[in-house]
C-alpha cells in the first residue's frame, strides 16, 4: 500500500539554513519550479550578517509564504551551528511553522547519492546507488564525526547514527561492516549542501511530520572546550 504524499500549495515555500561551517548556505523552494539557493563565505562574520542576508534572500517571498523551515543541526562548528539552530527555532516559534533539524552528515550523504536538483516528488527519486554511504568529518582533538546512511526511494535511513569517535575506532567499525559501502569525507565548506537539507526536510514534511520548533536541537558531538 502506497502512502499518498502531501504537496505544498504553490505559494508556500520551504526555507533552509546551513551555518555549521564557515559558509552560510540558504535555499528556498516551493518544489514545483520556483527554487533558488546561495552560499556566502562569512567565517567569523556569520553572526553579524546572517539576518541581513536572510531578509534579502527570501525576497520576493515574505515570511507569510513559508510553510516550514529546515536547519543543518551539526555536527560542525559550535558557534555556527548554535547560531543557525537558534535562528531557525526563533523564526519557527514566531511564524508558527514546523522546524526540521537535519544532520550535516545526512545532507552530505544525500547530495552524493540523489540528484540534488529539486523535484516535485510526484515520481520516485532518482537513486544513483543503493550502497550504504559512510560519512566522516574531522572533529576537534583528533577525533572524527561519523555516520552511515542507507539510500532508498524515500530518502535516507540511518544505519549508524551521527557520533564522534577516534579515527582508530571508526576504522574498526568500517572494517567490521558486513556489507560494501561508499566512504565520503565531508569537507569544511558545506554550505552548498543546504539544498539537501531542504530536500530531506521536505521528504519528512510530505510524510506528515510537522516538528515543533522546540524539537529542533543542535548536535555538537563534543564539548567546545576540552575538559
Percent of the chain at pLDDT exceeding 90: 77
Q: Taking residues 60-84, what's their average pLDDT? A: 96
Please give the pLDDT value at position 26: 98
Please give the pLDDT value at position 198: 97
Instruction: Say if residue 226's pLDDT is above 60.
Output: no
Pairing label, strands 144-152, 155-165? antiparallel
pLDDT tens column, 107-146: 999 998 875 444 433 333 444 568 899 999 999 889 999 9
Instruction: Compute the distance between CA of residue 96 and CA of residue 157 in angstroms, rounded to an integer.
Output: 28
Reply yes or no on domain 13-126+188-215 having CATH 3.30.420.40. Answer: yes
Please give the pLDDT value at position 127: 47
Mean pLDDT value across the chain = 89
Please give the pLDDT value at position 126: 46
pTM confidence score: 0.90
Q: Taking residues 22-31, what's their average pLDDT? A: 96
> Is the pLDDT higher at 44 or at 225?
44
**Residues in CB range of 8: below 8 A, 6 or more apart:** 14, 30, 31, 32, 67, 205
Please give the pLDDT value at position 8: 86
Percent of the chain at pLDDT exceeding 70: 89
Amino acid at each position: 500500500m502506497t502512502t499518498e504524499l502531501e504537496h505544498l500549495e504553490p505559494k508556500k515555500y520551504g526555507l533552509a539554513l546551513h551555518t555549521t561551517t564557515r559558509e552560510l548556505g540558504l535555499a528556498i523552494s516551493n518544489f514545483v519550479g520556483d527554487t533558488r539557493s546561495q552560499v556566502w563565505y562569512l567565517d567569523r562574520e556569520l553572526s553579524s550578517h546572517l539576518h541581513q542576508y536572510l531578509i534579502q534572500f527570501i525576497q520576493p517571498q515574505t515570511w507569510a509564504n513559508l510553510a516550514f523551515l529546515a536547519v543543518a543541526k551539526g555536527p560542525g562548528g559550535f558557534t555556527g551551528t548554535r547560531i543557525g539552530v537558534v535562528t531557525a527555532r526563533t523564526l519557527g516559534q514566531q511564524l508558527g511553522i514546523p522546524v526540521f533539524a537535519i544532520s550535516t552528515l545526512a545532507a552530505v550523504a544525500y547530495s552524493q547519492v540523489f540528484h540534488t536538483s529539486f523535484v516535485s516528488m510526484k515520481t520516485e527519486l532518482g537513486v544513483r546507488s543503493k550502497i550504504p554511504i559512510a560519512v566522516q568529518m574531522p572533529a576537534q582533538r583528533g577525533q572524527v564525526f561519523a555516520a552511515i546512511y542507507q539510500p532508498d526511494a524515500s530518502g535516507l535511513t540511518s544505519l549508524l547514527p551521527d557520533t564522534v569517535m577516534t579515527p582508530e575506532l571508526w576504522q574498526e567499525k568500517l572494517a567490521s561492516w558486513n556489507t560494501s559501502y561508499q566512504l565520503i569525507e565531508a569537507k569544511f565548506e558545506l554550505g552548498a549542501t543546504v539544498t539537501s537539507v531542504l530536500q530531506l526536510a521536505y521528504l519528512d514534511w510530505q510524510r506528515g511530520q510537522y516538528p515543533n520548533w522546540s524539537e529542533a536541537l543542535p548536535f555538537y558531538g563534543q564539548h567546545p572546550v576540552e575538559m
